[in-house]
Amino acid sequence: MSSLVLRNGFIVGASSSEVGDVLIVDGTIAATGDVGSVPSHTVEIDAGGCWVGPGFVDLHTHLREPGREEAETIESGARAGAMGGFTALVAMPNTEPALDSVALVAYVLERGARTPLDIAVAGAITVGRAGEKLAPIAEMAALGVRLFTDDGIGVQDPSLMRRALTYAAPLGVRLAQHCEDESLAAGGTMNEGPVSSRLGLSGRPAIAEELMVMRDIELVRLTGGSLHLLHLSTARSVTLAIEARREGLDVTFEIAPHHFTLDESACEGFDPIFKVHPPLRSASDALALREALRAGLVDAVATDHAPHAPELKDLPFDEAPAGMLGLEHVASLTYEALGGGADVASQLFDVLSRGPARVAQLRKSDTRQSLSAHGGALVTGEDANVVVFDPHARWRVVADSLQSRARNTPYEGRELLGQVRCTVAKGRLIVNEGLLV
């Protein structure tokens, strides 16, 4: 029997919050509030001044395994996730080869099971993510896959996307779209606008994203399917998604931290660290995203954690791969963007835990094989996936100190407010005092 007690934290429940203890015994929350006496040999953690809430869930992690293990592995990605307060990650399927079959999904699930976290898998919508032929969605769903995406590229063919939505709907799974019309994005490397025009870099225009958001919302209306919009980056995209949700369509969306903390001006120095798809947008887009976040209109903040080997980010801007790290600083960035302070606690856990757990079907009410439940209310009987977040701590991002194998953080040297103190995954204390146990 193992037991752990988190003392005197501000427990952020689903609807109410209070100062108290959380007792965890054998992977389950055994008691909360004033837990009184605890079993002998219980590990005591002082969570005074900190927030105690459900472990974070990332809907959008590129773990790179199989195929690009020099950039990240499932194991190193899980460590980075743990440092960031995550207890569950959804592994994106744009590996080499792509996760488009039962065998490959089973491989990642099996490797993921060796980590302390829950590693869920998003399967590919099309074979090889080539956008031509449906992948075996039902077979992968039978293994527990609940999200399907060709992320890295959107499904370009509207007829195929319609078919995928129709096929997936009765399976109880959700499609997730990387919204960019590639014929409009046409080899672009940064946001199309005044900066790209001056720098002579070809642009990926906002309309490339927004047009696909519009198209797919209409396809959901037509098919009755379920759709998650990945890393929406423009004010218009977010407005469209919110309107669709209000109309009752089953549309969810996420925003990524780099899109609400950085903008296209970061590309001025031609540093490929700032190259990402969809690209960093205008300052007013970033502001609109922060406003949506603060207004509680965002289903999830997701990292789009995209590790790349250092030598690939030393290529010219147009040749370098797109993507940046996210797992280890997203909680601080989201906390800062929410405005900081005690009254944003429930919002932080909504967008980093409860919202994404709902989208990924990782909650207690969702029946899953093998994976534990996430995004809970911190009540007795729940699986113990818990994070302790210190809203007062300040820390500095140092790429060389990150747990990810890669170093491509766009926040090098930046001081951030709010830090993950402890991560408890499936009842195990894996991060304590901001360090891996």
Partner 1 sequence: MIDSIRGQSLLTLEGLSARALVEILDTAESFVEVQSRSVKKVPALKGHVVASLFFEESTRTRLSFETAAKRLSADVLSLAVASSSVKKGESLRDTISTIDALGIDAVVMRHSSSGAALQVSRYVPHVRVINAGDGQHQHPTQGLLDAFTVRQILGERHGTSGQESGSELFKGLHVLIVGDVRHSRVARSDIQAYTALGAQVQIAAPGTLLPPDMTGWPVTLAEDFSEALEWADVVALLRLQRERGSGSFVPSLAEFTSSFGLTIERARRLRPETIIMHPGPMNRGVEIDSRVADLPAAVIARQVSNGVPVRMAALYLSVAGLKRDGAL
In angstroms, rounded to a whole number, what is the distance separating the alpha carbons of residues 219 and 225? 8
Site for partner 1 (CB under 8 A): which residue of 166, 202, 265, 403? Answer: 202
* Per-residue binder mask for partner 1 (CB under 8 A), 389-408, x = binder: --------------------
| Shortest separation between residue 181's beta carbon and partner 1, angstroms | 16
Beta bridge partners, 56, equal 86
Total residues binding partner 1 (CB under 8 A): 23
| Shortest separation between residue 370's beta carbon and partner 1, angstroms | 40
In angstroms, rounded to a whole number, what is the distance separating the alpha carbons of residues 239 and 215? 14
Residue 264 per-residue DSSP state: G
With tokens 């944003």, the residue in question is: 344
Q: What amino acid occupies position 184?
A: L
| Torsion, Cα of 150, 358, 346, 425 (10° steps) | -90
Strands 17-25 and 3-12: antiparallel
With respect to partner 1, which residue has the nearer C-beta, 12 or 273? 273
Site for partner 1 (CB under 8 A): which residue of 199, 214, 297, 417? Answer: 199
Site for partner 1 (CB under 8 A): which residue of 67, 170, 194, 381? Answer: 194
Beta bridge partners, 9, equal 20
Site for partner 1 (CB under 8 A): which residue of 65, 192, 210, 299? Answer: 192
The active-site residue out of 304, 350, 383, 390 is 304
State yes or no: residue 197 binds partner 1 (CB under 8 A). yes
| Shortest separation between residue 306's beta carbon and partner 1, angstroms | 18
Contact 271, 46 (CB under 8 A): no
Strands (E), 185-296: 190-191, 203-204, 227-229, 251-255
| Shortest separation between residue 206's beta carbon and partner 1, angstroms | 11
State yes or no: residue 318 binds partner 1 (CB under 8 A). yes
Taking CA atoms, 429 is separated from 24, 129, 132, 296, 379, in Å, by 10, 37, 44, 30, 18
| Shortest separation between residue 290's beta carbon and partner 1, angstroms | 23
In angstroms, rounded to a whole number, what is the distance separating the alpha carbons of residues 135 and 400? 39
State yes or no: residue 319 binds partner 1 (CB under 8 A). yes
With respect to partner 1, which residue has the nearer C-beta, 311 or 400? 311
Q: Which of residues 288-317 bind partner 1 (CB under 8 A)?
A: 311-312, 314-317
Contact 334, 352 (CB under 8 A): yes
With respect to partner 1, which residue has the nearer C-beta, 131 or 193? 193
| Shortest separation between residue 200's beta carbon and partner 1, angstroms | 3
Exposure string for 364-375, b = 16+ CB within 10 A, e = fewer: bebebeebbbbb
With respect to partner 1, which residue has the nearer C-beta, 188 or 391? 188
Site for partner 1 (CB under 8 A): which residue of 91, 99, 201, 266? Answer: 201
Measured at the CA of 140, the angle between CA 362 and CA 62, to 5 degrees, comes to 65
State yes or no: residue 182 binds partner 1 (CB under 8 A). no
With respect to partner 1, which residue has the nearer C-beta, 208 or 300? 208
The verdict on whether 318 is a catalytic residue reads no
Beta bridge partners, 45, equal 6
With respect to partner 1, which residue has the nearer C-beta, 218 or 318? 318
Contact 177, 240 (CB under 8 A): no
Q: Which of residues 223-282 bind partner 1 (CB under 8 A)?
A: 269-271
Strands (E), 247-304: 251-255, 300-301
* Per-residue binder mask for partner 1 (CB under 8 A), 334-373, x = binder: ----------------------------------------
With tokens 């389950």, the residue in question is: 28
State yes or no: residue 41 binds partner 1 (CB under 8 A). no
State yes or no: residue 283 binds partner 1 (CB under 8 A). no
Cis peptide before 66, with omega less than 30 degrees from 0? yes
Contact 88, 58 (CB under 8 A): yes
Q: Under the rule (CB under 8 A), what is the footprint of partner 1?
A: 192-194, 196-203, 205, 269-271, 311-312, 314-319
Instruction: Supply the residues annotated as catalytic.
Output: 304
